[in-house]
Amino acid sequence: MARAPLVPHSTLGPFTLEQKLAVGGMAEIWAAQQVLHNGETRRVALKVMMGAHAPDTHFRDMFMDEVSIACRLEHPNIVRVYSGDEVEGHLLQVLERVDGIDVRRLLSALSREGVGFPVPFALMIARDMARGLAYAHQCRTPQGQPMNIVHRDVSPHNVMVTRAGHAQVLDFGIARAEDRLARTRTGVVKGKLAYMAPEQAQGFATDARTDIFSAGVVLWEMLAMRRLFRAESDTETLRMVVNADVPPIRGENPDVPDEAAAVLHTMLAAHPEDRLRSMYEVERSLNRAMGRNYAADQVRPAALAAWISPYLTAVTAKARRKTMVLPAEQPEHRTGVTLSAGPTSPSDPSAPTDPDPTTRVDIEPPVFE
């Protein structure tokens, strides 16, 4: 079927498009209203594959794999994916529409204002991320088999903070699961380089501890208000990731409690076996750190909701003026780098490696914007 152009107020099957929210290299995100089978309507976000990728079988399989994984994940700290289908020639996913702001845009706003991220709120967001990812890591099939999900793309772009003061993880588009159909092409590591764990950047096996490292990078950047892995060249950035060159967080922000700094240090250990063993441990450790260093009313969702409200108002006003373009998703803003893994080996010598002796990584701009 021929693809009709997508424009505001047009219809696409049971969906009425309202506004384009974002444009990436692979898909567009639209705010829409969906008419349900019972005649009721609900607000949704539509992730619609760009026309250039529609004929590519690999992209189509990857796009629908995301649906097959994410539709099984029902948790307050994960953005819901309701369904996926081809409608009037458009391959699309139907997502929960979140009233909130992603951490990348929040960091950008704070950076422009020259103010820091309140430490208890950064810890709350990281704790909520850990809750959602812990659930995903332990998710099982209806037959009770472990799905062995690893997100592999935890970054500020993929964490939403809601108006109610909760954080939600989104976009399991490159997640690894045991029953996934589409596989990463030989010699290509997918994800945002600056948020990868060392083993992922080198093409070694990934597991839940890979997401722990990436979540640690997000938390470090919220607390430090600067990028962690940033260098003059793409190759040097990659080397920083592989070496896990992480400055102590209290040297960047002395307001971070010692206990929270210790948790972050173990999350960002270079070798997976030196990290906390699970996201449940991350959640518990961050909860202990918050409970021992802050009053209860400082770490309640209501406090985070009150603080974030002005930023949500600003984002809504900006969205009305223009469509946001996501820099980390634009192909023209990403550079392919090939770097030999050299003598470095994974912590587990038996872990499978990419059959290609080099790893190609896509790199997004080293800025919050």
In angstroms, rounded to a whole number, what is the distance separating the alpha carbons of residues 10 and 1?
Answer: 17
Q: Which residues pair with 94 in a beta bridge?
A: 46, 83
- Strands 15-23 and 324-325, by their bridges, are parallel
Contact between residue 31 and residue 21 where contact means Cβ atoms under 8 Å apart: yes
User: Which residues are known catalytic residues?
Assistant: 153
In angstroms, rounded to a whole number, what is the distance separating the alpha carbons of residues 329 and 343?
Answer: 32
| pLDDT in the model for residue 339 | 38
In angstroms, rounded to a whole number, what is the distance separating the alpha carbons of residues 236 and 238?
Answer: 5
Contact between residue 100 and residue 90 where contact means Cβ atoms under 8 Å apart: no
**Burial zone of 5 (CB within 10 Å; 0-12 exposed, 13-18 middle, 19+ buried):** exposed
Q: Show the low-confidence residues of the chain (pLDDT under 70).
A: 1-3, 25, 51-56, 173-191, 315-369
In angstroms, rounded to a whole number, what is the distance separating the alpha carbons of residues 164 and 149?
Answer: 27
Please name each of the domains of the chain with its CATH number: 13-96 (3.30.200.20), 100-322+333-342+353-363 (1.10.510.10)
* CA distances from residue 149 to 47, 65, 72, 126, 207 in whole angstroms, order as listed: 21, 12, 11, 19, 8
Question: Scanning the structure block, which residue is given the tokens 């809750």?
Answer: 131
Q: Six-digit token pair at 353?
A: 């490696």
**11 φψ region: left (φ > 0), alpha (ψ -120 to 50), beta (else):** beta
Q: Which residues pair with 100 in a beta bridge?
A: 162
Which pLDDT tens digit goes with each residue over 215-261? Answer: 999 999 999 999 999 888 878 889 999 999 899 999 999 999 999 99
| pLDDT in the model for residue 316 | 61
| pLDDT in the model for residue 191 | 65
Torsions phi, psi for 69 (to 5 deg): -80, -55
Name the 3-class secondary structure at 277: coil
| pLDDT in the model for residue 49 | 84
User: What one-character-per-residue DSSP string does 107-176 give?
Assistant: HHHHHHHT-PPPHHHHHHHHHHHHHHHHHHHH-B-TTS-B---B----SGGGEEEETTS-EEE---TT-B
Which pLDDT tens digit goes with each residue over 86-129? Answer: 888 888 889 999 999 999 999 999 999 999 999 999 999 999 99
**194 sits in which H/E element:** none
CA neighbor of 362 nearest in space, from 177, 197, 186, 196: 196
